[in-house]
Structure 1
Amino acid sequence: MQGHLLGRVTLMKLNITRFAALEVVVFNRPTRVDSEQMMPLLRQLAAMNDINVVLNGPVRTMNRTRTEKEQLTELEWASELEKGSIYIAHSNWLDFEGFGYKKPIYVSLVRDPIDRMVTDFYKRRSWVKRAIFRRMYPGRRERPEEWYNLSFSECVRSGDPECRFVQYSVSDYIQDFKRQSLYFCGSEADCLPFNSHNAIQVAKRRVEKEYAVVGTLEETNITLTVFEKYIPRFFNHARFLYKLNSKSIRNRNRNNRKPQIDPDVKEMVRRNFTNEYEFYYFCKQRLYKQYLALQLENNLN
């Protein structure tokens, strides 16, 4: 049985890090995937593994897609980073090879699609965001108190435009980044329709062919194990450092408002995220395969 599994699940098949021609990691993190937990860890890894963490790229925008000019600017800039750099940005996948540049090591994270939306909903209503608004726009009229106190369940039940997730929609009532797959599909127009089957298939192919690891901090130990073993130059000692500082890392960027979502509301919303869930489960299954390949190899040695 073990030999049969190993025939399908092997490190050689699942570790595409060796195909990278640029000794640079591009970590294009989607919003609301708890990637903030990785920031202090990466800074510690920088000191231990002699790597360079780069947070600010040349394109400082949170737009859902990049124009071709923006893509070229980012591609050229990232290609000139020194060896051993890890570039972290909220940006979609970039086709380095398609534009004539060397291929870097791509990594990312995913999270349960509805949990992302709920987190985003309450993040926009946090006291931190409120304080930032007051500092940036002193004297400007704020949203009413009712908006800040609104629950996600009430928002969905009332049919509020903020909590409608319209299939194949391209324009949105608010810029909520509900398309987790968009970060992996790219900046083409076909990637934008929400919950699109075609966009999801492109995103899955990108993950399979372009990403060394796509993890999830819902499975922290598995994710860090795979990062460590598949990209040791950058992530060696990740599990040790995370365990050493796990309490401070988990408390980073925590929102004190802990919502309870009504089960029927969660199910209502879930029906609009069918393809997004397909993509999420695809990424998790691939991560588990990568982890299983490590266990099988260890058992054979």
Structure 2
Amino acid sequence: MVRGRKWYWKKLEDCVLKEDPECEFREGSEDFISAIPFLCGQHDYCIKHGNSWALQKAKFNAEYEYSVIGLVEHWNTTLAVLEHFLPSFFQGVQQRYWDAEFKDQRTVNKNPKKYKPVSETVRKILKDKMALEYELYEFLKQRLHQQFESIADLLKLPTTKIHSRSTEKAALSSWDRMDIELRH
């Protein structure tokens, strides 16, 4: 489907209030873009919006099929958990991510469009229509923080610094930044 400039610049507020098809989220409609179908699997019920069976299957799969499911909102926690549970792939990821050498690359994907925050009315409509997605998100957030708590004592131990190509040092260590994030 080719979408024009008008669709691309459409505001979420307008889309939800006008009940455009992509913002309608009708019970039982096919949903290929949210987290529940992604984590639920290939069963026909998995792609039906508002299906509580799909939510339970997504939670089950998240718990038993995925070592870690990170959240961008809790990026430092995600990096710490990834580094601990999947060291073959993520050893030193926090140090590398916060290294001055990669400073410019951390902001590459910022959205150039500037929008006002959505109204409380739209926020409530979306929260009602996407209640199961919110429930899955809260489940995944709780799971990530439980994983982090299980390794919190290990994070206090001294670690070996991975060689960095950069000679500059960040003002705060990755552990300090993570500690600050977790307190807020």
TM-score with structure 1 length normalisation? 0.47
Residues 195, 273 of structure 1: 8 Å contact kept: yes
**Correspondence for 1:279:** 136
Query: What is the aligned-residue identity percentage?
Result: 33
Give a deviation string over 1:264-294, Cα, whole Å, max 9, x none. Answer: 2111111011111111111111110010011
Which amino acid letter does the alignment assign opposite residue 27 of structure 2? Q
- CA distance in structure 2 between the partners assigned to 1:247 and 1:222 by the alignment: 19
**Correspondence for 2:124:** 267
Q: Decide whether aligned partners of structure 1 residues 296 and 251 sit closer, same or farther in structure 2, where only a CA change above 3 A counts.
A: closer
**Correspondence for 2:42:** 187
Q: Tell me, what secondary structure is at the counterpart of 2:111? A: coil
TM-score with structure 2 length normalisation? 0.75
Q: Per-residue deviation at 1:152?
A: 1.2
**Correspondence for 1:216:** 71
Alignment of 1:159-238 (within 5 A): 159-170=19-30, 177-238=32-93
Q: Per-residue deviation at 1:234?
A: 1.0
Residues 168, 194 of structure 1: 8 Å contact kept: yes
**Correspondence for 1:63:** none
- Identify which of structures 1 and 2 has the higher relative contact order when contacts are C-alpha pairs closer than 8 Å and 6+ apart: 1
Q: Per-residue deviation at 1:184?
A: 1.1
Count of residues in Structure 1 that have an aligned counterpart in Structure 2: 156
Q: Which has the higher strand share?
A: 1
Residues 179, 194 of structure 1: 8 Å contact kept: no
**Correspondence for 2:18:** 158
Q: Where do 5+ consecutive residues of structure 2 fail to align?
A: 158-184
- Partner of residue 294 from structure 1, selected from 135, 139, 151: 151
Q: Per-residue deviation at 1:154?
A: 1.3
Q: Per-residue deviation at 1:225?
A: 0.3
- CA distance in structure 1 between the partners assigned to 2:156 and 2:109 by the alignment: 39
Q: Tell me, what secondary structure is at the counterpart of 1:159? A: coil
Q: Per-residue deviation at 1:250?
A: 3.1
Q: Per-residue deviation at 1:297?
A: 5.0
